[in-house]
Amino acid sequence: MKNLLGSSIKDLENVALNYGQAAFRGRQIHNWLYNYRNKKKNIEQIEALPLDFRKKLKEDGFKVSELSLQEKNLANDGTLKLLLSTYDNETIECVGIPTEKRLTACLSSQVGCPMDCKFCATGKEGLKRSLNSSEILDQILFIENEMNRKVTNIVFMGMGEPLLNVDELLLSIRSINEDFQVSQRKITVSTVAVPKMINKLSEKSFQILGNCQFTLAISLHASNQKTRESIIPSAKNYEIKNIIEDSKKFVRDTGRRVSFEYLMLSGVNDKLEHANELSNLLKGFQCHVNLIQYNQIDEVDFKRASLKNLQLFQSILSNNGIAVSLRKSRGLDKNAACGQLRQNARNK
């Protein structure tokens, strides 16, 4: 099947020309594909196109969407979580996180995840496969269609490890930027960190995108190697000091500061000694720390750190010259943790 989603205006103009149509027909397809008000998913429903052209595209295997909506949960704070089915009967999650001025789409890059982070529900069943760029982009359309708003910000913080699917990731970022008209500066790529892949990400970004303006967010979650290995098994393959060195190189190569995600787990990484240790680890280069409240799941014993500990931890980092912010959890009443909705659906 040939999925049109992710195609540029030029690509679609060429499709039209190959079928003996005028180039503007390709622009009509492009306008139809990326209009958030359009809730239709079938090529034969592109009413601006001649009927015989639509029929020919369908006969030749062109399509728009390979995903279908299986379940949706709307939280009291307006956060919308969608469970989507793929063409091969797997499921993925995506989330729409609204505020008054913006709508952030949290996207998955893989079906499942191989990293097996101990605090995360996604990794409990391992990796099934990586998503292609059209499957990544389709998540945005589902969020926009369901929430009847245009997505303004993107975070790759859903299911999967984006740096293990770097080519499709960057192809989707190209389309998000050029076709969905979302600035790279409003896109964040979150990674647990994979050896050699931070450097590869910046190199391939310049090759595929021509630049590298999105934000790299590294899920650090610890201030030392021992603690990190206890909650992220894959950390044994990538020393925390080497992650920091590769992050510094990313800043030098791209001019973009790196964000470090730090999930506060009670009694594990939320002590004052951890705050001071993290300060020493990160001082001296362009970075930012996001302290995150933990969304608890039944399958593990980790508990959320107290708000008092969060605020004290934040104060220590700030006093040590580290840029830091506290990110509150959203959608707590509706399977908010990554992978939770998928796992609950599989258990029904």
Question: Are the beta carbons of 300 and 271 closer than 8 angstroms?
Answer: no
Is 168 a known active-site residue? no
Compute CA distances 175 → 31, 112, 180, whole Å: 13, 23, 6
Q: What is the CA radius of gyration of the chain?
A: 21
Residue 45, both tokens: 């429903």
Among residues 94, 106, 212, 338, the one annotated as catalytic is 338
Phi, psi of 104 (to 5 degrees): -100, 130
CA distance 74 to 250: 37
CA distance 278 to 281: 5
Is 239 a known active-site residue? no
Sign of CA dihedral 40, 46, 52, 57: negative
Instruction: Report the number of secondary-structure helices (H) and strands (E) in the chain.
Output: 11, 14
Sign of CA dihedral 290, 112, 124, 340: positive
**Burial state string for 285-323 with b = 16 or more CB within 10 A and e = fewer than 16:** eebebbbbbbbbbeebebebbeeebbebbbebbeeeebe
Among residues 13, 93, 144, 261, the one annotated as catalytic is 93
Question: CA nearest 326: which of 335, 313, 343?
Answer: 313
Task: List, by residue number, the catalytic residues.
Answer: 93, 338
